[in-house]
Structure 1
Amino acid sequence: MSADTAAEPARESRRAGPVVGFLRWLENLSDTQYAYLLLTPVFVLLGIVAIYPLLRTFELSLYAVSTDLSSVRFVGLDNYVALFTGEKNRFLPGGTTFLPTGFDAASLLDSALVITLIFAVASVLFETLIGLGQALVLDQDFYGRRWVRAAIIIPWAVPIVIQGMMFFLMFDSSVGFATPMLADLGVVAPTNTLNDTVSATFIIIVADIWKTSAFMALLILAGLQSINRSLYDVARVAGASKWQQFRYITLPLILPTIGVAVLFRSVQAMRVYGIIDTVSSCTVVPSLSCMVVSTFNTHEGTSAAIAFVTAAIIGVVVMGIILWQGEDAI
């Protein structure tokens, strides 16, 4: 037997090895299958850091834990039934309720769900409008544009605790300077401003808008800069006005970007807690996250039920935005 003949089985073995077989399998995958294969680590990580905690939260919501943590009792969906019927309201801080007990202003402002939705809608709406305006300005070519862009990021970079203390000191009854000016206009209460639900909610919304408009502006600016500038040249030649260029070119092309920005901000706004705790308190401005934190140590099942309902509401909001934007929102 010659040396070439003896080496042939070894070469054939290498061709049929596991590595070669795996590479051949990869080559035979379609583009869609290959894309899902690359996304597999992301799905695994998402399952570990997001889906498992959510399922664990739902599991905890099915149990009633004694105050001293000495006993755990399975109660099924009783925590959810008690939450939506108002039986759990006695465990919430102050006069806070989960759902409003009536349709008058006092009942609505005592509801953590209503306050959370008011905060989310108002803050996201104004942040989007202000961010769009800032992005349109920053998209223009002018002297010092880089410095202006850097300056806009500063509020976004301020930690929530520092931001909260800033607005607390601005509206504190003893040292605040902003209360008299706004009180003369009837915007906030002239005394005990931060202990008034309406005034404190307004201040917290303004604080959030001040901080997060920059985030919206940066995302929308990225969408603006991806637009082909030749489209505007053609529009100008055709005699289109600035408004027509914005309406028929700019706005349709940045709507997907705005949809993504609104999606991110809506999720964050529905989880508001830190700015409330630093500017006022959860008893004055209740939110869903405040309820979760305040009930966790003493009523773990109730806390888990509120957390899971909050996650479900966020999921509905996310799906609504995705359906509104279609595939472009993903």
Structure 2
Amino acid sequence: MSTETGRESRRSGALVSVMRWMENLSDTQYAYLLLIPVFVLLGIVALYPLLRTFELSLFKLSADFSSTTFVGAGNYIELFTGEKNRFLPGGTTFLPDGFSMSAMLNSALVVTVIFAVVSVLFETLIGLGQALILDQDFYGRRWIRAAIIIPWAVPIVIQGMIFFLMFNANVGFLTPPLADLGLLAPTNTLNDTASATFIIIVADIWKTSAFMALLILAGLQSIDRGLYDVAKVAGATKWQQFKLITFPLILPTIGVAVLFRSVQAMRVYGIIDTVSSCTVVPSLSCMVVATFTTREGTSAAIAFVTAAIIGAVVMGLIVWQGEDAI
């Protein structure tokens, strides 16, 4: 009996010591303590695969996949010097091999950057406009909000099929009017790199503007309405209210929304594969998928470079928004 009592006393004593130790932690130390499980999980699901990818990028597989050869930075050197271009699908290159429009649109890096910049820019502007409208009080607002969400809820495969059919040479109806405006090639539209890139950007804007609108709307809803009452009493116009109250207060929300969308846009693959093909519209993710089964080292090198670019974009946006933005 005394032995059991002693064991229980030691357990209680250890638990009390831990509780007292936690109580003496500062707020910052306690916050980091709570974040430890998140860091561990992040290391398992994100950091380890990234390190494993970097490790694979340092090797080259034999033709029969029976052995590997350590090449160090060889895969990266060949990638940036164009030596890997012959292993990429179609006429795809990693970096542009010239300054012509054709060379630029054959570069997976250039196409990915163009897609990310243009789509995120227009999604942010359209999403901001939608959010400003939905923030107003009018009849049927709930139904309009529900309708705006519909494109975002459409799966990528269905979205791609919709735009594929709209611009298909046999059944499509949007190619002729847009071709008359000079925006698309009049024939073989989905196999023309410039036209297919334009269509894919439009498809992404159509789908993801709702995502931006919802995030920005959440920021608008958090603004104290009393600020607008004070501004009205002071004689501020609608534009002055937006410039001095609305925009500064939702800017951190816009920064987070742009951050999320930029990361996703840099990994574009599904919409390209469903609307056109990776040989027509190259992207970094397309290159990773196309080379994975035959040249694992090349695929890993491209994937790691893509991750590094995404990391640089994320850090740049965080620095631009400031540490309090996220």
Scaled to the shorter chain, the TM-score interval is over 0.9
- Which residue matches 1:221? 217
- Which residue matches 1:193? 189
1:312 aligns with 2:314: no
SS class of match (1:156): helix
Q: CA deviation at 1:184?
A: 1.1
Matching of residues 213-292 of structure 1 within 5 Å = 213-292=209-288
SS class of match (1:328): coil
Amino acid at match of 1:151: A
* Partner of residue 39 from structure 2, selected from 43, 48, 54: 43
Q: Unmatched 5+ residue regions in structure 1?
A: 1-5
C-alpha RMSD of matched pairs (Å): 1.5
* Partner of residue 26 from structure 1, selected from 10, 16, 22: 22
- Which residue matches 2:106? 110
SS class of match (1:329): coil
Check the 8 A contact 1:321/1:329 in 2, yes or no.
Answer: no
1:56 aligns with 2:33: no
Q: Distance in 2 between matches of 1:268 and 1:46?
A: 18
Q: 1:10 to 1:300 in 2, by over 3 A?
A: closer
Q: CA deviation at 1:16?
A: 6.1
* Partner of residue 80 from structure 2, selected from 84, 90, 102: 84
TM-score normalised by the chain length of structure 1 = 0.96
Q: Unmatched 5+ residue regions in structure 2?
A: none
TM-score normalised by the chain length of structure 2 = 0.97
Q: Distance in 1 between matches of 2:246 and 2:116?
A: 26
1:100 aligns with 2:103: no
Show CA shifts across 1:115-172 (max 9, x none). 0000000000000000000000000011111111111100000000000000000000
1:328 aligns with 2:324: yes
- Which residue matches 2:118? 122
SS class of match (2:122): helix
SS class of match (1:263): helix
SS class of match (2:220): helix
- Which residue matches 2:65? 69
SS class of match (1:73): strand
Whichever of the two has the greater Rg, that structure is: 1
Check the 8 A contact 1:131/1:216 in 2, yes or no.
Answer: yes
Show CA shifts across 1:85-133 (max 9, x none). 0000000000100000111111111100000000000000000000000
Q: CA deviation at 1:66?
A: 1.9
Q: 1:237 to 1:95 in 2, by over 3 A?
A: same
Amino acid at match of 1:209: I
Q: Distance in 2 between matches of 1:128 and 1:215?
A: 9
**Corresponding residue pairs, total:** 323
Amino acid at match of 1:278: T
1:146 aligns with 2:142: yes
- Which residue matches 1:3? none
Q: Distance in 1 between matches of 2:67 and 2:218?
A: 54
Q: Distance in 1 between matches of 2:318 and 2:22?
A: 32
Higher mean C-alpha deviation, range 19-28 or range 161-170: 19-28
Q: Distance in 1 between matches of 2:300 and 2:71?
A: 13
- Which residue matches 1:160? 156
Q: CA deviation at 1:10?
A: 6.6
Q: Distance in 1 between matches of 2:128 and 2:8?
A: 63
Q: CA deviation at 1:196?
A: 0.5
Q: Distance in 2 between matches of 1:319 and 1:313?
A: 10
Q: CA deviation at 1:57?
A: 0.2
Q: CA deviation at 1:71?
A: 1.3
Q: Distance in 2 between matches of 1:121 and 1:48?
A: 31
SS class of match (1:102): coil
SS class of match (1:292): helix
Q: Distance in 1 between matches of 2:319 and 2:280?
A: 35
SS class of match (2:69): strand
